[in-house]
Amino acid sequence: MANDHPLFIYRYMDRAAPRGDSPRFRIRVSAALPDRFDIPSKLWVAMREQAGIDVPMGQWGALWEEFFKEAAMEEVLTSITVTHRVLTGVGGRFAEVYRLAIARALADEHMGFRIDEQGVIHYAVDEVFEGMRGATLSVLNAPVLAVARGAYEAAFGYLDRHPADTKAAMRSTFEALEVVARQLNPGARNLHANLCRENLKDQYLAASTGDAVEKRVLAGMFEGMAHWVQSMHEYRHGQVDSITPPTEEFAVYVLSSGSAYLRLIAGLALRVGVQPAA
């Protein structure tokens, strides 16, 4: 199926499943290295010191193109983080430009990985899941929502473990929602179904500029949120730890659906104004 990418090879690429390796991705990682004279030598040393990776040397220096073409994929991915660290130390915008180039390459080549703001590579679920994550984090960037952002980022950290800590990931997602809900309702002790059906719904509808149809649909969405919250109490903090960890597939669904509700009420919190969470 075609997408809107301007380049033919990416417009008609089979994107049914993320890739674990790609010759074109390797070339783009090599091409992303800045050509400033001192960076390759700094990187060669850092690769040995930080990761124990010995990049082959030639007559004129390190053979980077050969390394990126032939090295194990785990070493190529590790080199990205090491490179980002080196470029951060160099200063300027080198690290940011490099990170954005890698992010574009990962997306274009439909790789099963993502790069975070610190240049660390993580496994990715799929493009839709990563887009949802990015959209939610953009709302949570406001300093007043820092505590919720911390809990939300922790959820993905738990999911990124091997094996994934699915129970902790779901609990942290719930915690992020609970933090914002309590910022909107300082008198509430915790997040429960009635808080969604009554307080949060009424607060959102009062701030909404939509027409009657939109408000009816929104009211139904908060009813759905109430059911989500009620169900999630099976896994929330304070419950017995003898519960079997949920499957990764189910945890991904919980993070996805929870993210939608989190964006909804986080946007409300920014619109009406709330105090930072304690």
Please indicate, yes or no, if residue 2 is contained in any of the structural domains.
Answer: no
pLDDT in tens, 47-68: 999 999 999 998 888 999 999 9
Asked whether residue 195 carries a pLDDT value surpassing 90, the answer given is yes
Q: What is the pTM of this model?
A: 0.69
Place of tokens 């994929």: 73
- Do 108 and 234 lie in one domain? The reply is no
Asked whether residue 251 carries a pLDDT value surpassing 60, the answer given is yes
Place of tokens 């990682």: 29
- Do 131 and 249 lie in one domain? The reply is yes
Percent of the chain with pLDDT over 90: 70
d(CA 122, CA 144): 27
Taking the CA atoms of residue 26, residue 29, residue 30 and residue 35 in that order, the dihedral angle to the nearest 10 degrees is: 170
Q: Which pair of tokens denotes residue 109?
A: 């080549």
pLDDT in tens, 197-221: 999 999 999 999 999 999 999 999 9
Long-range contacts of 42-45 (CB under 8 A, 24+ apart): 42/86, 42/89, 42/90, 43/79, 43/82, 43/83, 43/86
- Do 26 and 156 lie in one domain? The reply is no
E-assigned strands of 88-221? 113-115, 121-123
CA neighbor of 184 nearest in space, from 206, 152, 155: 206
- Do 134 and 92 lie in one domain? The reply is no
Please indicate, yes or no, if residue 1 is contained in any of the structural domains.
Answer: no
Cis, bond preceding 34 (omega within 30 deg of 0): no
Half-sphere exposure of 268 (CA within 13 A, CB side): 25
Domain housing 148:
127-272
